[in-house]
Amino acid sequence: MPRILQPQSLKQGLGIVLMGLVIGGSAVGGWLYGQHHFWTALKGPTEITLDQLAKIEKPGELPSTWVKVAFEKAVKTKVQIVETGRGSESVAEEYWLFEVGDRWMIAIVQPSFKGNVLSGQVWHNTGSLNREAFTTILQDYQDIHQGKLIPFEFHAEQDYGSNWKAFAVVMGVFTGIGGLLAAMGLGGIVLSFRPADAIDEANELAALDPQTTAAANAAMARFLRDAQR
Report the predicted TM-score, pTM, of the whole model to 2 decimal places.
0.73
Instruction: Please give the domain boundaries of the chain with CATH numbers for all domains.
Output: 7-37+163-228 (no CATH), 45-159 (2.40.50)
What are the pLDDT tens digits along the chain (229 aa)? 567 777 788 888 899 999 999 999 999 999 999 999 999 999 999 999 999 999 999 999 999 999 999 999 999 999 999 998 877 889 999 999 999 999 999 999 999 999 999 999 999 999 999 999 999 999 999 999 999 999 999 999 989 999 999 999 999 999 999 999 999 999 888 888 777 655 454 455 445 555 555 665 565 565 555 555 5
Q: What is residue 165's predicted lDDT score, i.e. its pLDDT? A: 95
Q: What is residue 11's predicted lDDT score, i.e. its pLDDT? A: 87
Q: What is residue 202's predicted lDDT score, i.e. its pLDDT? A: 46
β-strand partners of 120: 67
Q: How far apart are CA 62 and CA 100, in angstroms?
A: 14
Q: What is residue 222's predicted lDDT score, i.e. its pLDDT? A: 58
- H or E segment and range at residue 104: strand 103-109
Q: What is residue 74's predicted lDDT score, i.e. its pLDDT? A: 97
**Gyration radius of the chain's alpha carbons:** 25
Q: What is residue 190's predicted lDDT score, i.e. its pLDDT? A: 86
Torsion of CA 161, 164, 165, 169, to 10 degrees: 160
Q: What single-letter amino acid sits at 210? A: P
Do residues 105 and 75 make contact, with C-beta atoms less than 8 angstroms apart?
no
Q: What are phi and psi of 117, to 5 degrees?
A: -120, 125
Torsion of CA 221, 108, 149, 151, to 10 degrees: -10
